[in-house]
Amino acid sequence: FGVRPGSPFLFTIPATGKRPMDFSAEGLPIGLNLDKNTGHITGVVKEKGTHVIVLKAKNALGSSTRQFKIIVGDQIALTPALGWNSWNCFANAVDDAKVRSAADAMAKSGLINHGWSYINIDDCWEIKAKTDDPMLIGEPRNEKGMINTNKKFPDMKTLSDYIHAKGLKMGIYSSPGPLTCAGFTASYQFEENDAQQYAEWGIDYLKYDWCSYGRIAKDNSLPELKKPYFVMRAALNKVNRDIVYSLCQYGMGDVWKWGGEVGGNSWRTTGDITDTWESMTEIGFSQAGHEVNAKPGNWNDPDMLVVGKVGWGPQLHPTKLSPNEQYTHISLWGLLSSPLLIGCDMTQMDDFTLNLLTNDEVLEVSQDPLGKQAGRVSKDGDLEVWAKDMEDGSKAVGFFNRGKWKSEIKARWSDLGIAGKQLVRDLWRQKDLGNFSEEFKVSVPRHGAVLVKISH
Ligand code: GAL
């Protein structure tokens, strides 16, 4: 967990099991306090340094401990963000009540106990430029140049207090041009006001789009593509708050090569995802090669998750992905070390969706502290193997069947760069499959995935 010296700190110890629970943390740096009942760690650390903490959770049935590293330094987002974003479900239908119920649902469903933390408002919270909708009209900014919200969001500070009190974090959205993609007030020439306003509101995450900056940029050259992101980075650096900086310009100018240089914690590598097999797989499997650009604090972002009830609001429908396609989606996004942003209405999650998002052994692949992104190891027609190096020396390996028929997929140790007897564990089923030498092969259903950990 990365935090900058002097920035407000908030981390909720993820632990599943019966409440009440009693939390403890050994070795916390000076300035941090733990609430023993909720497991929320808050405070401010002034000095740079690395602290290895031992977290403990205890209930009537037993206890569990885990090491946790806090790095107080320049870099945040040391693991890919786990959260929710309003766009893929609500789009323009987002409002304060829906965001509150998303926070309620993240806590109540238990997602929070698996590490999920960000509640991010996407576009459509600002004043709209051209509209008759009484909820959206008004002065875009006040006399001091500070951005106004529309009537759907009466008080952002109260909303963020509500979210933070649950141990969750809050995100917001803007664009570097004069208007956002949906035609609402954006940050052009008010970047410092906006960064300051976000900090005052208690914002922890900014998704920063590109829309309408195309009119401002002189051309499509790299310096022009980078410029607005440097400007907002500088503005964010001036505020006394850690705000994850998420670039959203769809991969223009090979953003994966310079997203980190402009100070982005993540950058969208493609256009918008939809809940179809074609959209999800075209995006997901086109990430091969980008793994060289990902590391703790800097992540490729192949867009948000399309599981559960989605719809770009107000009408929602169950994702069009079949269950096996959803295993492919979550397995691949985890291997890709992508930010995982749930795109569905969390108040309407069924058991299958919740299971997809709360499998700790699968989430460990996404959240591994080494921060290596998987690369493609082999491709034989529709059959692909992807592998990710893990901190403990093991490999997380995905077997993907993009074809129409059930097929056997094989990974050779020589392709994975390993040798000898290896233990293979099925991560979705949380079950050891046995020891294997030289290779492992498995039958994978059409459009399905098998995700394993290989270790010795
Ligand atoms: C798009 C972006 C979407 C969403 C939308 C809001 O450019 O890719 O994820 O944020 O703008 O208008």
With a 6 Å cutoff on the Cβ, whether 84 touches ligand 1 is no
Pair 187, 232: CB distance under 8 Å:
yes
Question: Distance from first CA to last CA of the chain, Å, rounded?
Answer: 28
Mutate to test the pocket of ligand 1, among 179, 180, 181 (most ligand atoms within 8 A of CB): 181
Kindly indicate the confidence band of residue 443, based on its pLDDT and cuts at 50, 70 and 90.
very high
Structure confidence at residue 399 (pLDDT) = 99
Kindly indicate the confidence band of residue 217, based on its pLDDT and cuts at 50, 70 and 90.
very high
Kindly indicate the confidence band of residue 103, based on its pLDDT and cuts at 50, 70 and 90.
very high
Pairing of strands 49-59, 62-72: antiparallel
Kindly indicate the confidence band of residue 324, based on its pLDDT and cuts at 50, 70 and 90.
very high
Structure confidence at residue 47 (pLDDT) = 98
User: If you average pLDDT over residues 411-415, what whole number do you get?
Assistant: 97
d(CA 423, CA 432): 7
The chain-wide mean pLDDT, for the chain, equals 98
User: If you average pLDDT over residues 333-339, what whole number do you get?
Assistant: 98
Kindly indicate the confidence band of residue 10, based on its pLDDT and cuts at 50, 70 and 90.
very high
Strand partners, 126: 149
Reply yes or no on whether 368 is catalytic.
Answer: no
State pLDDT tens for residues 343-367: 999 999 999 999 999 999 999 999 9
Structure confidence at residue 118 (pLDDT) = 99
Pair 446, 403: CB distance under 8 Å:
yes
% of the chain at pLDDT higher than 70:
100
User: If you average pLDDT over residues 24-33, what whole number do you get?
Assistant: 98
Instruction: Give the tokens for residue 269.
Output: 């590598």
User: If you average pLDDT over residues 333-342, what whole number do you get?
Assistant: 98
DSSP secondary structure letter of residue 326: H
Reply yes or no on whether 272 is catalytic.
Answer: yes
Structure confidence at residue 400 (pLDDT) = 99
Strand partners, 244: 205
Catalytic residue (one of 22, 104, 272, 415): 272
What Rg value do the Cα atoms of the chain yield, rounded?
A: 22
User: If you average pLDDT over residues 144-156, what whole number do you get?
Assistant: 98
pTM for the structure as a whole: 0.98
